[in-house]
Chains A and B, each alone.
Chain A
Amino acid sequence: MNGLLGLIDRPVHAVRRIGATVLFLFKIVAQVPAALRKPGYIVEQIYNAGGRSLIIIMLSGLFVGMVLGLQGFDLLQRFGSEDALGVAAALGLLKELGPVVTALLFAGRAGTALTSEIGLMRATDQLTAMQMMAVDPVRRVVAPRFLGGLIAVPLLTAIFNVVGVFGAQLIGVSVMGVDSGSFWSQMQSAVQTDDVMEGIIKSIVFGAACSLVAVYEGYHAAPTAAGVGLATTSTVVTSSVLILFLDYILTAAFL
């Protein structure tokens, strides 16, 4: 009987958590106009979440682009169409790898930092103190961090893509000997505005999802060292699964 109850309990708990997260999103959205009146806090958070993730994003972009260059060349060579390497790399990065890998890295680097920061603020009474000073922590702490992440992820994705294409070109053209003219001109003629838009929309959705999960987990973390640790782990796991799930939904919707 207990096992059966446990079996029902888990999905009920999961659905409750999804509901609570969506309600929390509504709370944040309601505070966005007030948060926008003090843009300085949002800019600070864009720097904290985005600026500080720049190095890891650029490094990862470079390596992903270089791998694309190698794998793409190997694959296309089999069909004698290695000139299309530029197109393959650009489309792969713009539509899939750019938004997904950036969001995954963002969740691991900035999402965990957000969760532990807000969780520790809760554990050390800072959020309660704000409430006692008649300051809504959702407006002052959560909304600027959510907006910061939402804005930072698309910008980071763009940078990831640029560095990634450069990495593919570095390997494909400079090392493997693909013709530079074909690499760039084929890319230019094959990549459509819709492809770019798909990447931008994906990165915005992933940014919103990662930031929401991070601030939700932090805000609702148990006010103990173990609670903050658990919340941080949960941020990475939930964000990663959510990004891949949303990626499938969005890809299916765009095709």
Chain B
Amino acid sequence: MQAEEAPLSAKDEAIVEVHGVHYRIGGRAIFSGLDLTIRRGRVTAIMGPSGTGKSTLLRLITGQSTQQQGVIKVWGEDVAAMSHATLFAMRRRIGMLFQSGALLTDLNVYENVAFPLREHTDLPESLVRQLVLTKLQAVGLRGAIDLMPAELSGGMTRRVALARAIVMDPELLIYDEPFAALDPISMGVILRLIQEMNDALGLTSIVVSHDVRELATIAHDSYLLSEGKVVAAGTPLELEQSQDQMVRQFMDGLADGPVPFHYPAPDYVTQLLADSGQ
């Protein structure tokens, strides 16, 4: 199944532009010349093996970390050059769904979803309640308003976090590993929600994940990252048909290939003999 093409009129407007980004942590290169573009109204999948820096890319886009080289622009503004106030103003236009949900554990479901409204607006309680109930209805958890985060399952936690992420009506919604450790039913629910949110609310979505098959059903664009670069880009169908070795290993889930099964280590026999003192 292939996601339908987004309307062409607005498709070329870039919301996020990443140009020549180099980023190192403690001497280890995470990105070495990363380029990609996220376009308005589309669901963009960012895929790649674990440890390729997919979540790090989200940290750079949202200004939680800064790259050493290159430029990241969000709505045309350089994230690294933003003041604290501009950065926070940008973040108010972004909703983010964390892998863990990151709900505030001392607040119940209702208060968690109401949290951004209480912090950023002076709306009367009746309106806050209406907004919260609307968003919880959208994720199917209107009946769970009194539960505490500890009482929720993994899938429910992520749905509440999604309701919280959209309560301020963001223009860009970022999902960090939304399907990780979910059962097939919860995964289906989240997939449907991502698609519905994008279409019904006119959002732009970035989904970071390595669940290739699931993403292919909802993504308009996809990027495959490996070793600090984009190794393949295009529609999920184009990636599916690619003959590139790296792309094939990832799409087919092969244990060995360009990404080796073994972590770099000295020669096996030499090490065994050395350990036994021969």
Contact = CB atoms under 8 A, between A and B. Distances in A.
Given A124-B105, A126-B105, A133 B98 contact: no
A59 to B, nearest CB: 27
Contacts of B98: 125, 128-129
Contacts, number: 47
A133 B168 CA distance: 9
B102 A125 contact: yes
Contacts of A128: 64, 98, 102
A135 B64 contact: no
B64 A133 contact: no
A131 interface: yes
Interface string B102-115: 11110000000001
A121 B149 CA distance: 13
B89 interface: yes
Nearest to A132: B96
A140 interface: yes
A249 interface: no
A133 B96 CA distance: 8
B205 interface: no
A30 to B, nearest CB: 11
A126 B62 CA distance: 16
Nearest to B161: A129
B241 to A, nearest CB: 36
A134 interface: yes
Interface string B86-109: 001101101010101011110000
A140 B119 contact: yes
B116 interface: yes
A133 B116 contact: yes
Nearest to B168: A133
B262 interface: no
A225 to B, nearest CB: 15
Interface string A10-39: 000000000000000000000000000000
Contact of B102 (A124, A134, A135, A140): A124
Chain A: interface secondary structure? helix
B105 A134 contact: no
A120 B164 CA distance: 20
Nearest to B120: A134
B102 A126 contact: yes
Contacts of A121: 104-105
A120 B119 CA distance: 22
Contacts of A135: 115-116, 119-120
Interface string A26-68: 0000000000000000000000000000000000000000000
A132 B89 contact: no
A119 to B, nearest CB: 13
A12 to B, nearest CB: 20
A42 to B, nearest CB: 15
B64 A131 contact: yes
Given A134-B88, A134-B89, A134-B91, A129 B119 contact: no
Contacts of A134: 88-89, 91-92, 119-120
Contacts of A136: 88
Contacts of B104: 121, 126, 129
A130 to B, nearest CB: 8
A125 B91 CA distance: 16
A132 B164 CA distance: 12
What are the 5 closest A-B residue pairs judged by CB atoms, nearest first? A129-B102, A125-B102, A134-B88, A134-B91, A134-B92
9 contacts: A124-B105, A126-B104, A128-B64, A128-B98, A131-B64, A133-B91, A133-B119, A135-B115, A140-B119
Interface of B: 62, 64, 88-89, 91-92, 94, 96, 98, 100, 102-105, 115-116, 119-120, 164, 168
Given A125-B98, A135-B116, 16 more contacts: A124-B100, A126-B103, A128-B64, A128-B98, A128-B102, A129-B102, A129-B103, A129-B104, A131-B64, A132-B64, A132-B96, A133-B92, A133-B164, A133-B168, A134-B119, A140-B119
